[in-house]
Amino acid sequence: MMETTRDFVALADVVRRITVEVIGNDTALGSGVSWPRGHVITNAHVVRHARVAVRSVDGRQLQARLLVRDAEADLALLSLDAADLPTATVADAARVRIGSLVVAVGHPLGMRGALSAGIVHAIAPVVRGGAPWIHADVRLAPGNSGGPLADVSGAIVGVNAMIVGGLALAVPIARVIDFARSAGVAVP
Partner 1 sequence: MNGLMAFSNELAAAVEHAGRATVGVNGRRRFGSTGVHWRSGLIVTADHTVEVDEDVTVTTPDGRTLAATVAGRDPGIDVAILRVDAGDLPVADIATEPARVGHIVLAVGRGPRASWGVVSAIGDGQRGRTERADLLNLDLTLYPGFSGGPLVDARGRVVGVTTSGPARHFQVAIPAATVSRVLDELGRRGRIPRAYLGVGTQSVRLSETLRQRLGTDQRAAVIVVDVQPDSPASAAGLVIGDVIVALGGARIADPGDLRAALRPEQVGETVTVSIVRGGEPRDVRLTVGERSRRA
Report, as residue numbers or ranges, the catalytic residues: 45, 74, 145
Do 74 and 171 contact (CB within 8 A), yes or no? yes
Measured CA to CA, the distance from residue 65 to residue 78 in angstroms comes to 5
What's the min distance (Å) between Cβ of 120 and partner 1?
A: 7
Query: In angstroms, what is the minimal distance from the CB of 52 to partner 1?
Result: 33
**Count of residues binding partner 1 (CB under 8 A)?**
26
Residues facing residue 39 across a β-bridge? 35, 79
Burial class (CB in 10 A: 0-12, 13-18, 19+), 102: buried
16 near partner 1, rule: CB under 8 A? no
Distance (Å) of CA 88 to CA 18, 48, 101, 118, 166? 6, 24, 18, 20, 26
Considering the complex, what minimum distance in angstroms separates the CB of residue 127 from partner 1?
15
Report, in Å, the least distance between residue 148 CB and partner 1. Answer: 16
- Choosing from 71, 82, 109, 124, the residue that interacts with partner 1 (CB under 8 A) is 124
Residue type, 73: A
Q: Per rule CB under 8 A, is residue 7 in the interface with partner 1? A: yes
Contact 62, 56 (CB under 8 A): yes
**Binding track over 146-185 against partner 1, x by CB under 8 A:** -----xxxx----------xxx------------------
Nearest one of 59, 23, 58 to 40, comparing CA atoms: 23
Return the number of the residue (107 or 121) whose C-beta is nearest partner 1: 121
Element (H, E) at 9: helix 2-17
17 counts as binding partner 1 under rule CB under 8 A:
no
What is the binding site for partner 1 (CB under 8 A)?
3-4, 7-8, 10-11, 97-101, 118-122, 124, 135, 137, 151-154, 165-167
